[in-house]
Structure 1
Amino acid sequence: MHVFLTGATGLVGGALAGALLDAGHRVTALVRGVGRDVLDMDGRNRIGEIGVLQGDVALPGFGLVETPPEDIDLLVHCAATVDFAAAEAVHEAVNVGGTAHAIALAQGWGCPLLHVSTAYVCGRADGDIAEVAANPAADFTNGYEASKARAEALVDTARADGLAAAIARPAIIVGRLSDGAIARIDGFHHLFRLFGSPLLGAVPAAPDAAFAIVPICHVTSGLMAMAQDIAAFDGRHVHLVGAAPFAMADMLRIVSGYPGTVPATMIAPEQYHASERDRRIAMVHRRIGPQFFDYFVRSPRFSGDTLRDIADIAPPSVDEAAFRRMIDHCIDAGFLDWRS
C-alpha cells in the first residue's frame, strides 16, 4: 500500500510513518520546510526511508510544487496545530482549511481518506461519550477543539458525497505503555510538568476530575488497523483511548512521591479566587487557566467499542506503574528535573 501522509514530522505522524514502513508499506509525506525529522516511536529518524514533498496543508492542493505519485492508495491527514491558544485564524487555516484541502486531494486522487482528529471534539460534554458525529455548534473549551469539530463536519459531508473516509480520535497522548517512551515530549506534558512545580499552587478542580490519556502505542496500533482496512472503518468515528480516565488526584499523589517536586493541590472551584493567589502563581493561572482549567472539572469516559469490535484491539489500561514509567522517561530525557 502507498500512503500519502501529512503531519509526518509531528508526534502521531512520525509514529505512524515508522509503523507503516515496518509493515512494508510505502510512504510519501508532505513536509513543510527542510531539515525536518520523522521520528518513529523509538525516536529513530525515518525521513530517509520515505518520499518527501514540500508543501503546506494551509494552501489549496497543499501548495505542492512537485507532482505527487499517481498510485496513492490512502491519504492519512495527521497535520494540525494543537496550540490551544493559537488565533482563530490559525485554527481555521490549518485545522479546518487543511482538512478541506486533504478532502479535495483525496477526491481528485480517487483514494480514501483517514482523518486524525481528537476525542475532545465532544467539547465540554462529560460522562459517557459515544463514537458519533461531532457537533460543531457544541460548547467548546478552546479554539482547537472547535476547529477539529468543524474539520470533522467537512469529512462527514464529503463522505455523504461519495468519499470513502474514516475519522480517528485520539485522546490525550502520553508515552508508550511498556516503557513510557515518547519521541516528542509536548502537549499535555507541559501542563503535567506544572503539576510538580511551585508555580501552579492550588487550582480549581472537581474531586473526581480525570484525564482521558492514551499511550502512543495504542494510537499507532489503532491508526494502523484503520489504514490497513479502511473499508471496514468507512464512515466511523473511532476513539483511540485508554480503558478509563486517569484521576487528577492520583496524578498529583504520584508526582508528590518524586523528590524535587512541589505538587499542585486541588480546591473546589467555588472556593477558588484568583485574587488570593501569589503574584507569580496568579500570572501562571492567567496564562493557562482559560486553556486548561475546564479540564480540571470533568471526567469524560470515551467509548472505545469500534476499534475493539472491528480490529479486536481493546483500549489499554494505564495503571500507576505505567504512569510512573512515563514520568521516569521524561526525567531521563531531561524534560523533568525531578529525581527518581
Structure 2
Amino acid sequence: MHVFLTGATGLVGGALAGALLDAGHRVSSLVRGEGRDVLDMDGRDRIGALTALQGDVAQPGFGMAEPPAGIDLLIHCAATVDFAASDAVHAAINVGGTAHAIALARAWGCPLLHVSTAYVCGRADGVIGEAPADPHASFTNGYEASKARAEALVEAARRDGLVAAIARPAIIVGRLSDGAIARIDGFHHLFRLFGSPLLGAVPAARDAAFAIVPICHVIAGLMTMAADMAAFDGARVHLAGSAPFAMADMLRIVADYPGTVPARMIDPQVYDAAMLDRRTAMVHRRIGPQFFDYFLRSPCFAGDSLERIGGMSAPAIDDAAFRRMIDHCIKVGFLDWR
C-alpha cells in the first residue's frame, strides 16, 4: 500500500511512519523545511526510508510542486498542538490543513484517516462516547476547538461520499513496556512540574484524572484502522487507556523519587493566586490558562469501535507503567529533580 502521511516529523507521525515502513508499506510524507527527522518508537530516524516531499499543510494541495500519484491512503497527522497558538494559526494549520487533506483525498480517490484528539469533547466530563464533535461546545483552548472544527469537515466530506475515519488519541505518554517515547513534549512538561517546587498548590478537583494512552497503543490502533478503512469508514475511534489515571496517584508516585517537591492539590474554592509567592505566581500565570482546567475533570473516553471492528482492547495503565514512563524521562535527562 502506498500511504501519504502528513506530520511525520511529529511524535505520532514519526512513530506511525516507522510502523508503516516496518510493515512493508511505501510511505510518502510531507515535510516542511530542511534537516528534519522522522523518529520511530525506538528513536531511529526513518526519513531516508520514505519519500519526503516539501510542502505546507496550510496551503492548497499542501503546496507541493509535484503531488505524488498512486496514493492508496492519506493519513493526516499534521497539526499544531500548541495550546497558546493564536486562533489564526489553529485555523490555518488544524482546520485549513484538514480541508486541504480532504481535497487531496478526493483528487486521489483514496480514503482519509484523520488523526484528531479525544479532547474534541471540550469541557465535557464523565463518560464520553464516540459521538460527533460539537464545534460549538465549550473548549479549554483553541487547539481543542480547532480539532472539533476539523472533524466537522471530515464528517461533511464523508456524507458527500469520501471514505473516512477519525482517530482520537487521548494524552499520549510513553510506551507501555518501557516508558520510551521518541519526542518528549506536551504532557511530559506538566508532570516534570508535578515534582518541582515551582508549582506549589494548584486548584484541582479531588477526583481529577487524566486520560492517558501509551504511544504503542495509538500506533497499533492507527495501523489497524489503516489496514481496513472500508470497515472503519465513518467510525470515530477513541485511542485511550482503559481508565483515566488519577492526578492524586500521579503526585503520589512522583513523591517517591529523590529530589522532588510534589505539587499539592487544593480545593479550587480556596485557591487564591494573590497569596502565591512571586515565583510560583509567575509559573501559574504561564501554565494556568493552558492546564488548570484539566485539573477539574476526569473524562473517561468510552466506545467499542476499535475492539468491535479491529479486535483491539484498551490497555490498562497501572502504577508500574507510570513509573516506567518517569524512569525513561530520567534516563534521557529530561527529568532533573535531583
Per the normalisation by structure 2, the TM-score is 0.99
> Shift of residue 55 of structure 1?
0.2
CA contact (8 A) 1:304 1:314 kept: no
1:230 to partner: Cα distance: 0.7
Which letter does structure 1 place at the counterpart of 2:76? H
Q: Is the 8 A contact 1:240 1:304 kept in 2?
A: no
Instruction: Tell me what 2:113 maps to.
Output: 114
Does 1:32 find its partner at 2:38? no
> Residues 20-42 of structure 1: CA distance to partner in whole angstroms, max 9, x if unpaired?
01111000000000110000000
Instruction: Summarize the alignment of residues 124-273 of structure 1 with structure 2, pairs less than 5 Å apart.
Output: 124-273=123-272
Amino acid at match of 2:56: D
Note the C-alpha offset of 1:304.
Answer: 3.9
CA drift at 1:164: 0.5
Partner of 2:9: 9
Structure-2 separation of matches of 1:192 and 1:55: 34
Letter of the structure 1 residue corresponding to residue 242 of structure 2: A
State the 4+ residue runs in structure 1 displaced beyond 6 angstroms: none
1:44-123 aligned within 5 A? 44-65=44-65, 67-123=66-122
Structure 2 counterpart SS, 1:75: strand
Cα displacement string for residues 96-141 of structure 1 (whole angstroms, at most 9, x for unaligned residues): 0000000000011110000000000000000000001000000000
2:277 is the alignment partner of 1:281: no
Contact kept in structure 1, 2:196 and 2:337, CA below 8 Å: no
**Cα distance in 2, alignment partners of residues 134 and 229 from structure 1:** 23
Alpha-carbon displacement from aligned partner over 1:39-91 (angstroms, at most 9, x marks no partner): 000000000000110000011110001x2321100000000000000011000
* CA offsets 1:141-194 (integer angstroms, 9 cap, x no match): 000000000000000000011110000000000000000000000110111111
Measure, in 1, the Cα distance between the counterparts of 2:209 and 2:301: 12
Determine the C-alpha separation between the residues in 2 that align with 1:187 and 1:77: 20
Amino acid paired to 1:174: V
Q: Secondary structure at the match of 1:76?
A: strand
Partner of residue 22, structure 2: 22
Number of matched residues?
A: 338
CA contact (8 A) 1:176 1:182 kept: yes
SS at structure 1 position matched to 2:95: helix
Distance in 1 (CA, whole Å) between partners of 2:316 and 2:23 is 25
Q: Provide the secondary structure at the position in 1 that maps to 2:53.
A: strand
Secondary structure of residue in 1 paired with 2:176 = coil
Report the equivalent of 1:290: 289
- Deviations along 1:213-249, one digit per CA (max 9) or x if unpaired, are 0000000000000011111110011000000000000
Aligned to 2:269, the other structure's residue is in SS state helix
What secondary structure sits across from 1:173 in the alignment? Answer: strand
Superposition RMSD on alpha carbons, in Å?
0.6
Q: Distance in 1 between matches of 2:273 and 2:135?
A: 31
Amino acid at match of 1:26: R
- Gaps (5+ residues) in structure 2? none
Q: What displacement does 1:305 show?
A: 1.1
Amino acid of the structure 1 residue aligned with 2:35: G
Q: CA separation in 2, counterparts of 1:62 and 1:69?
A: 12
Structure 2 CA distance, aligned partners of 1:115 and 1:101? Answer: 12
Between the aligned partners of 2:88 and 2:277, the Cα distance in structure 1 is: 34
Mapped partners of 1:330, 1:59: distance in 2: 36
